[in-house]
């Protein structure tokens, strides 16, 4: 069993690779440029120039997504000769979202496009499609495409929205995979699908309450999750298939208790499954579970300060264990999906990479949200060096991704101790303009320790603090931030314009343990909001923020927090910005009240301040923006607040963004527009004179 607060740490010895890289690290550590380049809106709004690097199962090919303006192409190289001209695969009418290897010679591609349909009203949204193609992009396949012609308008809508999902790539079978259909009807089917011929065989029909199914490498469904209700309320059950082929319930967790039990992977041994569970404890841990005996065999991994969430097997993309078991365990650390590696030689390679790139180590304090438990661990300074894939061989090849709040994402290949930069995701952005980021805790007024990400402007660009400050809460609220580069452009925009940014992981945030998660129940706009305000006051106490120049900006639930900041009786903020925010929590809960899971798990927790009811009494100026294709938080949530505030003569600025949903923009022009209205408001608006 692993019980670790030291999962962050590196090795303390200089192995051959580390020593080799040490000289390179010294050579690459240079003084910052005399002129710091502040990125433009257009540069911040760009898709990553290249992202999503993947290697084929046999290690012979590599792909990435290449961007040029609004266009995104798949680029495929032969790994043995990266200098040769690669194959470029594009799409005319849809935007390529992601791609990976389905087989050694076949890709699975996700694409999206705007879609309008009219039922009882016009609905403007986006649709996604999953397609297969060869490595040349010549032959495209829409798997499980309906053979029936949609005749009614409703049938046409359902056909357009339908999208299958790959459940297993069956790595040992060159021709077959397992798919789950998406008929959007009363039944969902699991099929064994031949990628060469298109022939399919139904393996099982999921029941109405089944939510997910696990399939092994042989293409056999062996575990599934299922929702339901009984006398105690809504639950999630985990079923395993018995030797007789029947489904048997093994776990039942009631959502009101906030217990989580999930199946992660096959265990690599007969009758063993790898599960994640937080039942009866603050953080989830990873266990071996004997399906026949119906009992936990052993605890494989837990972390004292973070949820354990997964396993890593570098030689198997599907996460199944190799000959020596799992290579690592994933926990919800500072970067969201951090890995504790079981083998020191893997950690040594990562530390060698960090040294070669001039990334130093620091002592990082981590602590419990409640109580005095804490530890000091060695951590890379604000940057994640993520080992994406190892390609086995006499001299293994490693694919890395490097990222941080102030370190725009980069991709590297390490082959025979030769380190090659594959791509910078944002080559036009000067790292020196992004300031410095660190992970901190600050005290809430009731004694909780609130985790937060702090980004401080570069003093050479902005001069010494205190600075203008933006408290920037995340969405969810059952969500969280990470320390990876912010591809939305929001944090880079704010800090390069000389504002200190605090991203509080307020009570109600997920992935920081049961205590912080539960503490947000029924505290919308109340203690949850106090946490954000306490963060603003902490910035002032640390002499980082000018108390007369603070604002709140958030999106989704963060937009709700900005609405709440505008109506609460305090003098902390000069103004607020609400992006796609919830203004009427009563309307939001009523919208989903018929869903038993939502009713038991979340509906009762969404209690507290309702900003819409006080929109005519806002205390500070506010800028509101919302996308016209947002189906997660409907546009009416902003319309209602703005209409009531403007009717009362309150200072509100409002923007509706065309073809923008609840997330990434369809075009770079829309993303530039979003960043520009935020920038302009904070420069010249915010009640006059800017922030």
Order of all β-strands in the sheet with 61-68: 50-55, 61-68, 71-78, 87-89
User: What pLDDT does residue 160 have?
Assistant: 66
User: What pLDDT does residue 122 have?
Assistant: 79
Under CATH, to which class is 435-689 assigned? alpha beta
Among 350, 278, 280, 283, which residue's Cα sits nearest to residue 312?
350
Long-range contacts formed by 506-510: CB under 8 A, 24+ apart: 506/450, 506/473, 506/477, 506/531, 506/532, 506/535, 507/444, 507/448, 507/450, 507/531, 508/476, 508/477, 508/478, 508/605, 509/474, 509/476, 509/477, 509/478, 509/479, 509/480, 510/476, 510/478, 510/479, 510/480
Separation CA 550–CA 537 (nearest Å): 10
Contact 579, 555 (CB under 8 A): yes
Give me the chain's average pLDDT, please.
89
The torsion angles phi and psi of 405, rounded to 5 degrees, stand at -55, -35
Share of the chain above pLDDT 70, in %: 88
pLDDT tens digits for 163-189? Answer: 889 999 999 999 999 999 875 555 589
Domain boundaries, the chain: 2-424, 435-689
Q: Token pair of 312, please? A: 């890593």
* Distances in whole angstroms, Cα of residue 577 to Cα of each of 43, 344, 547, 591, 662: 22, 47, 18, 25, 16
Confidence band for 235, pLDDT divided at 50, 70 and 90: very high
pLDDT tens digits for 58-95? Answer: 999 999 999 988 889 999 999 999 999 999 999 888 89
Average of pLDDT values for 573-577?
Answer: 98
Average of pLDDT values for 206-232?
Answer: 91
User: What pLDDT does residue 5 have?
Assistant: 41
Residue 381 has pLDDT above 90, yes or no: yes
Residue 610 has pLDDT above 80, yes or no: yes
Q: Token pair of 136, please? A: 């040349």
Residue 567 has pLDDT above 80, yes or no: yes
User: What pLDDT does residue 547 have?
Assistant: 97
For 677, other C-beta atoms within 10 Å of its C-beta total 18
Contact 214, 223 (CB under 8 A): yes
Residue 415 has pLDDT above 80, yes or no: yes
pLDDT tens digits for 17-60? Answer: 333 333 333 233 334 456 899 999 999 999 999 999 999 999 99
The contacts of residue 434 (CB under 8 Å, 6+ apart) are 405, 406, 407, 408, 455, 458, 492, 495, 496
pLDDT tens digits for 269-299? Answer: 889 999 999 999 999 999 999 999 999 999 9
Separation CA 28–CA 358 (nearest Å): 6
Under CATH, to which class is 2-424 assigned? mainly beta
Contact 388, 400 (CB under 8 A): yes
pLDDT tens digits for 503-556? Answer: 999 999 999 999 999 999 999 999 999 999 999 999 999 999 999 999 999 999
């Amino acid at each position: 069993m692993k019980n670790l607060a030291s999962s962050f740490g590196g090795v303390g010895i200089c192995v051959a690779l580390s020593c080799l890289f040490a000289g390179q690290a010294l050579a690459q550590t240079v003084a910052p440029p005399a002129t710091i380049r502040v990125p433009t809106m257009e540069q911040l709004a760009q898709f990553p120039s290249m992202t999503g690097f993947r290697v084929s199962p046999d290690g012979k090919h590599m792909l990435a997504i290449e961007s040029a303006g609004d266009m995104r192409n798949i680029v495929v190289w032969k790994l043995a000769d990266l200098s040769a001209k690669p194959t470029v695969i594009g799409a005319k009418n849809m935007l390529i979202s992601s791609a990976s290897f389905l087989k050694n010679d076949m890709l699975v591609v996700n694409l999206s496009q705007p879609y309008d349909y009219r039922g009882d009203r016009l609905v403007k949204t986006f649709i996604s499609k999953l397609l297969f193609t060869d490595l040349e992009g010549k032959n495209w396949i829409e798997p499980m495409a309906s053979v029936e012609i949609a005749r009614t308008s409703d049938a046409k809508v359902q056909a357009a929205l339908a999208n299958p999902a790959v459940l297993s790539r069956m790595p040992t079978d060159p021709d077959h995979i397992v798919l789950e259909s998406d008929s959007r009807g009363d039944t969902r089917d699991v099929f064994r699908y031949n990628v060469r011929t298109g022939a399919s065989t139904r393996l099982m029909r999921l029941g109405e309450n089944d939510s997910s199914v696990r399939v092994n490498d042989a293409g056999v469904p062996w575990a599934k999750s299922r929702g339901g209700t009984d006398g105690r309320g809504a639950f999630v059950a985990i079923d395993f298939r018995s030797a007789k082929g029947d489904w048997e319930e093994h776990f039942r967790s009631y959502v009101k208790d906030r217990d989580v039990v999930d199946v992660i992977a096959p265990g690599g041994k007969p009758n063993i499954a790898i599960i994640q569970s937080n039942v009866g404890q603050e953080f989830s841990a990873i266990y071996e579970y004997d399906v026949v005996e119906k009992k936990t065999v052993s605890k494989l991994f837990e972390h004292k300060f973070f949820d354990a969430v997964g396993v890593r097997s570098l030689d198997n993309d599907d996460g199944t264990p190799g000959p020596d078991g799992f290579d690592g365990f994933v926990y919800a650390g500072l970067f969201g999906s951090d890995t504790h590696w079981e083998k020191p030689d893997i950690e040594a390679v990562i530390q060698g990479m960090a040294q070669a790139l001039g990334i130093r180590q620091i002592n990082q304090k981590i602590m419990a949200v409640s109580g005095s438990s804490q530890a000091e661990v060695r951590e890379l300074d604000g940057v994640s060096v993520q080992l994406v894939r190892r390609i086995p061989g006499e001299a293994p090849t490693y694919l890395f991704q490097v990222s941080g709040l102030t370190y725009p994402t980069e991709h590297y290949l390490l082959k025979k101790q030769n380190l090659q930069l594959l791509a910078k995701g944002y080559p036009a952005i000067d790292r020196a303009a992004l300031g410095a980021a660190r992970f901190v805790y600050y005290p809430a007024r009731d004694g909780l320790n609130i985790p937060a990400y702090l980004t401080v402007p570069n003093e050479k660009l902005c001069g010494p603090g205190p600075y203008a400050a933006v408290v920037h809460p995340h969405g969810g609220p059952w969500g969280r931030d990470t320390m990876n580069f912010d591809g939305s452009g929001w944090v880079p925009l704010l800090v390069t314009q000389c504002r200190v940014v605090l991203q509080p992981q307020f009570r109600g945030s997920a992935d920081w343990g049961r205590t912080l998660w539960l503490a947000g129940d029924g505290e919308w706009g109340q203690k949850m909001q106090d946490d954000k305000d306490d963060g603003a006051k902490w910035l002032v106490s640390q002499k980082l923020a000018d108390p007369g120049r603070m604002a709140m900006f958030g999106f989704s639930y963060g937009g709700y927090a900005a609405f709440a900041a505008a109506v609460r009786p305090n003098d902390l903020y000069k103004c607020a910005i609400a992006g796609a925010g919830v203004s009427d929590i009563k309307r939001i809960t009523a919208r989903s009240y018929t869903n038993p899971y939502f009713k038991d798990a979340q509906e009762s927790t969404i209690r507290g301040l309702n900003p819409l009811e006080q929109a005519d009494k806002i205390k500070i100026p506010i800028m509101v923006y919302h996308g016209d294709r947002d189906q997660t938080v409907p546009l009416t949530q902003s319309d209602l607040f703005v209409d009531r505030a403007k009717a009362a003569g309150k200072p509100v600025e409002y923007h509706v963004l065309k073809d923008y949903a609840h997330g990434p923009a369809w075009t770079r022009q829309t993303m530039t527009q979003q960043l520009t209205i935020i920038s302009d408001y904070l420069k010249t608006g915010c009640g006059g004179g800017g922030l």
